[in-house]
Every structure is written in C-alpha cells, then in structure tokens.
C-alpha cells in the first residue's frame, strides 16, 4: 500500500532521477533539499523535497529509495528485437524482483520463467537462475530498452510476495551480468 505522504508530511511526487542517461534530480527531504540549493539554482529548478523521507525507531527522517520504474523507450523495440542478435544469454520475463544491500551498491535479482537465448532464439526454460550485480556496472551495461509493446504487467498478488497492485516490467538488454546457479548446493 502506498501512503499519501512521507514521514515528514510531504506528498510524494513523480520524480525522474535520470533521463537519457543524464542525472536530472536527487532524492531530497525537507532537511537535505536546501543543501542542494546551488545545484537546483544552476538548473533553474526550485529546491524541493520529493516525499521520500522515512524514519525508523532509531533515526530522524532520511531519504529512502522509492520504488524505481524504468520507463519504456520511445522507439518500437520489441523483446524479439532485443534478443535477435544475442549469441548466448538469458531472458528473464517480468515478474521477478531484486534486492539490494543497504548502500544500494550490490544487488541480487531473480526472474520467473527464465529462458535460455541461443543464436537469437529462445531455446528452453532454465531453473535455479538469478543474477548478481554491482549497480553502477549493471546500469553502465544497459545496451537497449524496449518500447511500449515490451512492457509486461502482472495482476495484483503476482507473485504473492510483492503485495502490490501491479508489477510492471519493461524489457531491457544488458551485457556482462553475473549469472548465479541458485540450485547448486556446494
């Protein structure tokens, strides 16, 4: 469930952090927004909090990473277009998820129904597959984003652990991602 305001009483807004590969804004609270005043000033933007403050029993309000969405590209790029020249890879259809460490530097992601790509074709399902990545290297390895037709949406409760209304996933192509066999016992 999404709240109508953050832990400082600020209504969350639609926030773009990166557009076309360029940093365009920062997460900010009422306390940290004035520290970004010079940066906002050079861009002729008002300094403002985005409604991302969260607290715990042990802390004052601080920036919390909201749910992050990758928007589809403007070109009509399909999943088939993204995989057609992949010699060997893995396709993770939507419906998976990722978990990051506290600093958001390292992450682990899984997908439901992973499939092997060989010579531009999906050749079979894989089990016990996940990806492990350092976030900066992962995003630097982004090669292409699918268009609107590549977006997959899943109904409320799929998978049940997400506890949200809709899970939306846009297809994207990455290079040099560490693949992990989660079924291996040694």
pLDDT, tens digit (0-9, with 9 covering 90-100), for 21-41 = 788 888 888 888 899 999 999
**Burial environment of residue 92 by CB neighbours within 10 A (0 to 12, 13 to 18, 19 or more):** buried
Give the start-to-end residue ranges of the domains of the chain: 1-68, 79-181
Does the structure show a pLDDT above 60 at 13?
Answer: yes
Rounded to whole angstroms, how far apart are CA atoms 109 and 132?
A: 6
Rounded to whole angstroms, how far apart are CA atoms 29 and 43?
A: 19
Does the structure show a pLDDT above 90 at 86?
Answer: yes
| Sign of the C-alpha dihedral computed for residues 92, 26, 141 and 186 taken in this order | negative
| Sign of the C-alpha dihedral computed for residues 77, 80, 85 and 88 taken in this order | positive
pLDDT, tens digit (0-9, with 9 covering 90-100), for 144-181 = 888 888 877 655 444 544 444 445 677 888 888 888 88
Q: For the residues of 46-83, what is the DSSP string, one character each? A: -----S-EE--TTS--EE------PPPPSS---HHHHH
Say if residues 45 and 34 touch (Cβ distance below 8 Å). no
Q: Are strands 142-145 and 172-174 parallel, antiparallel or unpaired?
A: antiparallel
- Residue 44's pLDDT band (cuts 50, 70, 90): very high
Q: What value, to the nearest 5°, has the Cα angle with vertex 53 and ends 49 and 55?
A: 155
DSSP secondary structure code for residue 135 in this structure: H
pLDDT for residue 58: 77
Q: What is the mean pLDDT of residues 82-101?
A: 83
pLDDT, tens digit (0-9, with 9 covering 90-100), for 108-143 = 888 778 889 999 999 999 888 888 888 888 888 888
pLDDT for residue 150: 83
Q: What is the mean pLDDT of residues 62-78?
A: 79
């Amino acid at each position: 469930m999404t709240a109508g305001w953050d832990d400082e009483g600020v209504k969350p807004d639609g926030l773009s952090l990166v557009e076309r590969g360029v940093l365009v804004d920062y997460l900010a609270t009422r306390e940290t927004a004035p520290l970004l005043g010079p940066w906002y000033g050079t861009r002729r933007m008002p300094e403002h909090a985005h409604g991302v403050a969260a607290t715990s029993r042990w802390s004052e309000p601080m920036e919390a990473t909201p749910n992050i969405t990758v928007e589809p590209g403007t070109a009509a790029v399909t999943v088939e277009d993204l995989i057609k020249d992949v010699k060997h890879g893995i396709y993770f259809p939507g419906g998976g998820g990722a978990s990051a460490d506290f600093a958001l530097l390292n992450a682990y992601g899984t997908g439901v129904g992973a499939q092997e790509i060989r010579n531009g074709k999906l050749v079979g399902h894989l089990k016990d597959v996940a990806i492990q990545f350092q976030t900066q290297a992962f995003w630097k390895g982004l090669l292409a984003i699918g268009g609107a037709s590549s977006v997959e949406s899943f109904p409320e409760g799929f998978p049940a652990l997400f506890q949200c209304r809709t899970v939306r996933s846009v297809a994207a192509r990455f290079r040099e991602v560490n693949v992990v066999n989660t079924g291996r016992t040694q």
